[in-house]
Structure 1
Amino acid sequence: MQTSFFTRLAALAALASVVVAIPSDCTRKITIKPGDTCATISAQHKVSTYQLMNVNTGIINTACDLHLGEEICLGIKGKDCTDVHVVKEGDTVYDISQAAGISSTTLYANNKNVDSSTGFIIPGEVLCISSHIYY
């Protein structure tokens, strides 16, 4: 009987921590559905890969393990870049920034997951291409 109680208590605590982890100034939220991945969510909802991970610290780990029914934040007030580009095979930081009309410095500032010394990007990754610096 005690094991059941403590198991339920632990499950409730885990749920409560997810709710608490969503920023109070979150302006866009979604609930994870079957087949969702960080890449598909980023592309479908116009949120950069970096932003998705950054605003969900403590909810989404670096491996992007998502849990069905879990609610995640897409953007927070004042830091919600919806001008995005889905990286395609052969894209370079220079090409993307030129096409967007921004400097590579601005692109790197908004996408801190991209190493500015190498410019390494991965097809499917979603980058913020706004001229406004959010991060």
Structure 2
Amino acid sequence: MQTSFFTRLAALAALASVVVAIPSDCTRKITIKPGDTCATISAQHKVSTYQLMKVNTGIINTACDLHLGEEICLGIKDKDCVDTHVVKAHEDCTEIAKAAGIPLSTLYANNPNVKKHCSNLYAKEVLCTSKHIYSY
């Protein structure tokens, strides 16, 4: 038995309307306001760029498309790094780690999005600079 075009269309529409919920163990949340970007949210709320994307997997895409009125998570229980650093132009990982008083290996462990030798570090990126290593 073949399904009609309209039945398949309704099924696709139902799938498209599935809302991804924020994690149940989320300890900090915000609602997206006009002008919010991943960079401004990360800097203003002391959440690393990596953590913001990781705890909102399925909610925030890699292009960081945000939707007004949408609620997102900033940190989850026992995995919320609030010791952060906003990268300035021409900074490198060695000087950031030294200023934070942490080993370079800890900086890399808490920011797995940063490649070896900081080759992909960019100005205004927010890094976790905690002495504690968080795993996601």
How many pairs does the alignment contain? 127
* Secondary structure in structure 1 of the residue aligned to 2:42: helix
1:66 & 1:53 partners in 2: Cα distance? Answer: 11
* Secondary structure in structure 2 of the residue aligned to 1:18: coil
2:115 & 2:64 partners in 1: Cα distance? Answer: 19
User: What corresponds to 2:3 in structure 1?
Assistant: none
For 1:119, the aligned partner's letter is C
Q: Tell me the TM-score normalised to structure 1 length.
A: 0.86
Report the structure number with the largest CA radius of gyration. Answer: 2
2:45 & 2:95 partners in 1: Cα distance? Answer: 23
* Secondary structure in structure 1 of the residue aligned to 2:106: helix
Post-superposition shift, 1:12? 9.7
For 1:134, the aligned partner's letter is Y
Within 5 A, what are the aligned runs for 1:87-106? Answer: 87-106=87-106
Post-superposition shift, 1:18? 2.9
Post-superposition shift, 1:59? 0.3
2:85 & 2:108 partners in 1: Cα distance? Answer: 13
Post-superposition shift, 1:13? 6.4
1:11 & 1:46 partners in 2: Cα distance? Answer: 36
- Aligned-residue sequence identity (percent) comes to 72
User: What corresponds to 1:84 in structure 2?
Assistant: 84
User: What corresponds to 1:17 in structure 2?
Assistant: 19
2:14 & 2:45 partners in 1: Cα distance? Answer: 30
Structure 1 residues 11, 87: CA separation in 2 closer, same or farther (over 3 Å shift)?
farther
User: What corresponds to 1:133 in structure 2?
Assistant: 133
Deviations 1:48-95 (A, max 9, x none): 000000000000011101111111000000000000000001211000
Structure 1: gaps spanning 5 or more residues: none
**Structure 1 stretches of at least 4 aligned residues deviating more than 4 Å after TM superposition:** 10-13
* Secondary structure in structure 2 of the residue aligned to 1:17: coil
For 1:74, the aligned partner's letter is L
Structure 1 vs Structure 2 CA RMSD: 2.1
1:107 & 1:54 partners in 2: Cα distance? Answer: 16
User: What corresponds to 2:118 in structure 1?
Assistant: 119
Structure 2: gaps spanning 5 or more residues: 1-5
User: What corresponds to 1:31 in structure 2?
Assistant: 31
